[in-house]
Amino acid sequence: MTAAALLATGCSAQDASCGGGEYPVLAVGSSGGACVPFGDEPPKGYTRYPKGKVPQHVGDKWDTYWETRTVDENGKIIESADAS
């Protein structure tokens, strides 16, 4: 699909972090994440991203930021032990 076609249809050229009807969550204590349906709470071992630091697209500012960070069980942002 050409860039003009993407603009005409309103589609994004970037891959979304999650599909429609879902939001991204962060693994507690390690790098990684998952997608959860809106209205559902994160599963055990996951938490919501801190407000204002939620990745929207693969490779965006916050997606890159969280490659080497995570949160601990108290919600404090820490360096991820398993970051590569």
Looking at the domain assignment, is residue 6 inside a domain?
no
Q: Specify the number of domains making up the chain.
A: 1
Per-residue model confidence (pLDDT) at position 31:
85
Q: Read off the pLDDT of residues 41-70 as tens digits, 9 standing for 90 and up.
A: 999 999 999 999 999 999 999 999 999 999
pTM: 0.77
CA 69 → CA 4, 9, 10, distances in Å? 36, 35, 32
Looking at the domain assignment, is residue 3 inside a domain?
no
Per-residue model confidence (pLDDT) at position 17:
93
Note down the domain range covering 45: 15-79
H/E segment holding residue 70: strand 69-71
Looking at the domain assignment, is residue 72 inside a domain?
yes
Share of residues in the chain with pLDDT > 70 (%): 82
Looking at the domain assignment, is residue 9 inside a domain?
no
Looking at the domain assignment, is residue 84 inside a domain?
no
